[in-house]
Structure 1
């Protein structure tokens, strides 16, 4: 029986191709034809998908590398390459070389622990390498990186409830959209949909900034407070809420809509849908909805809306469902 495993050279070629695809796909001028070609490459061999996932992990680490890259990585940096391309190359080199990786850790450039977590059709609870507990809502994706001077979570999709292991000297950061949450040890919830973020504090205190590139530590939350922001906001909006109501109901598998306008309810609903709903006009968005729904059956809510509200469903030219006002005449 012949050995079909790739040779070392073939494996290196696949890794290189995965890195090139990762860098190209993250560039704004990547074309549809290139994305289609990537899909063909990805499905051509199970090892392609495996290596691409590994490169995505390196990409996430590379976003935190300093602009002044370490000298060990300069030998593989392509000339006239954008920063992110250089960072990926630097990260690949540093993570592959134990001495360089140790230097990167000591200088605060690279983590000594990195893990990716996700929840699909069921919520799950995970323990981070630092001992912190995180509950992941349906369809949630996040990564954890442990740096010398801080612990860093990037929430790329979904919602998570954090019970952070206390360590004053080793702050815990959660990055969501363009903002971040800074804590040392506390319990809080972070909800993310597209570029909208809500941070709800249950215990302890956190500092919330809507843009991690802005100066200052951000706004401080106390228990029972919530911060909301979206991309482009200079500061989060702070409000007092009841933390035992709808914002944490997902931990019991429920979505609570407390007499909300459809415009406000749709992001909460769309968070659980593969194909998001949209509104035909602002008047439709002013209609109000309330109720308690199972987070695993939100698709049933979509078909129910025309029965409880004066709306009907249509399909847009790109195949997405639209809520339209129904004539009362």
Structure 2
């Protein structure tokens, strides 16, 4: 019985290769032949692609480091070979990175902890490095970076429920679409689909801004309040939630639609679908839908809608299903 097809040396070699390709692809003199060679290396094994993506995330975080303005001239006796150049670069990085990391941390530019999480076909509960707990819904992806002056989450897609470890001196900020949610310690849920975001506060308080570029910290939510925003909103829309609110039913594997218009229901459904469902016009979007659905089986819902609603299905040019209302016959007089 074999435990793994790779030895530790193999893993180290793949990591080194991923670092090399990350450096070369970001170099201004990277050639088309090199890019083709990289693609062949990346596609040779899934682990190659995985290690490169991990290295790319680290590279992107490091982009926040300040650039040195002083240039020190170096006189070389003879041209360095590519491998010698790479060796020098690796040696310099080995000496400079600890100092850069320390300086970046003190300046609030580089995190001392970085985590990436995904949930595809099942919900997932994770613990962040600060002790906060996060529950991820299906199809959710987020990253966490711990900086000196703040804790930062980027919700790339999906939905997550946060139980944030309390720290008044170290605020917890969630970036979702154009806006942000700022807290110090609380429990809240963030749902995102395309540029639409909905924030539900369970306990504590949060500040919600619809645009991260606007001044100020945004509008304050108290328990049992909800904020919604989308691209272009100057401020979030605030509303009260009630004891029978079903926004968090996903934590029990359910999506509850309480007699919603299709224009409101479809974003909640489409969040789980590979091919989103469209409506043909406003009259179709006004048709109402209710029911309780298993979030893992929502892909089966689309085909059943014509059986329960006065609609029929077509496809648009992109292959997405489109709901069309069936014209109501006018009774003859």
Q: Same fold (TM over 0.5)?
A: yes
2:179 touches 2:209 (CA, 8 Å); kept in 1? yes
Superposed displacement of residue 318, structure 1: 1.9
1:15 maps to which of 16, 19, 29: 19
Q: Matched residues in 2 for 1:39 and 1:328: separation? A: 56
Structure 1 pair 98–236 and aligned structure 2 pair: CA distance change class (3 A): same
Q: Matched residues in 1 for 2:181 and 2:289: separation? A: 31
Q: Matched residues in 2 for 1:213 and 1:117: separation? A: 26
Moved more, 42-51 or 149-158: 42-51
Corresponding position: 1:71 with 2:102: no
Larger radius of gyration: 2
Q: Which residue of 2 aligns with 1:327?
A: 327
Q: Which residue of 2 aligns with 1:83?
A: none
Structure 1 pair 51–72 and aligned structure 2 pair: CA distance change class (3 A): farther
Partner secondary structure for residue 97 of structure 1: helix
Q: Which residue of 1 aligns with 2:263?
A: 263
Moved more, 104-113 or 42-51: 42-51
Corresponding position: 1:108 with 2:108: yes
Q: Matched residues in 2 for 1:7 and 1:272: separation? A: 35
Partner secondary structure for residue 247 of structure 1: coil
Structure 1 pair 283–131 and aligned structure 2 pair: CA distance change class (3 A): same
Structure 1 pair 299–111 and aligned structure 2 pair: CA distance change class (3 A): same
Q: Matched residues in 2 for 1:170 and 1:250: separation? A: 30
Superposed displacement of residue 274, structure 1: 1.0
1:278 touches 1:321 (CA, 8 Å); kept in 2? yes
**Cα RMSD over matched residues?**
3.2
Structure 1 segments unaligned to the other structure (5+ residues): 25-34, 76-92
Q: Matched residues in 2 for 1:284 and 1:95: separation? A: 64
Q: Which residue of 2 aligns with 1:196?
A: 196
Q: Deviations over 1:40-78 (max 9, x none)?
A: 764234354023311342255257x27xx2429989xxx
Q: Matched residues in 2 for 1:284 and 1:36: separation? A: 48
Q: Which structure 2 residues correspond to residues 142-157 of structure 1 after superposition, within 5 A?
A: 142-157=142-157
Q: Matched residues in 2 for 1:113 and 1:205: separation? A: 25
1:219 touches 1:236 (CA, 8 Å); kept in 2? yes
Q: Deviations over 1:217-266 (max 9, x none)?
A: 10000001101011221111111112652211111111011111101111
How many residue pairs were aligned?
298
Q: Which residue of 2 aligns with 1:281?
A: 281
Q: Deviations over 1:102-150 (max 9, x none)?
A: 1111111100000001111110111111111111101111111000011
Q: Moved runs in structure 1, 4+ residues, more than 6 A?
A: 5-11, 35-41, 72-75, 93-96
Superposed displacement of residue 301, structure 1: 1.3
Q: Matched residues in 1 for 2:158 and 2:150: separation? A: 23
Q: Matched residues in 2 for 1:104 and 1:311: separation? A: 57
Q: Which structure 2 residues correspond to residues 163-174 of structure 1 after superposition, within 5 A?
A: 163-174=163-174
Q: TM-score if structure 1 supplies the norm length?
A: 0.81
Q: TM-score if structure 2 supplies the norm length?
A: 0.80
Corresponding position: 1:211 with 2:208: no
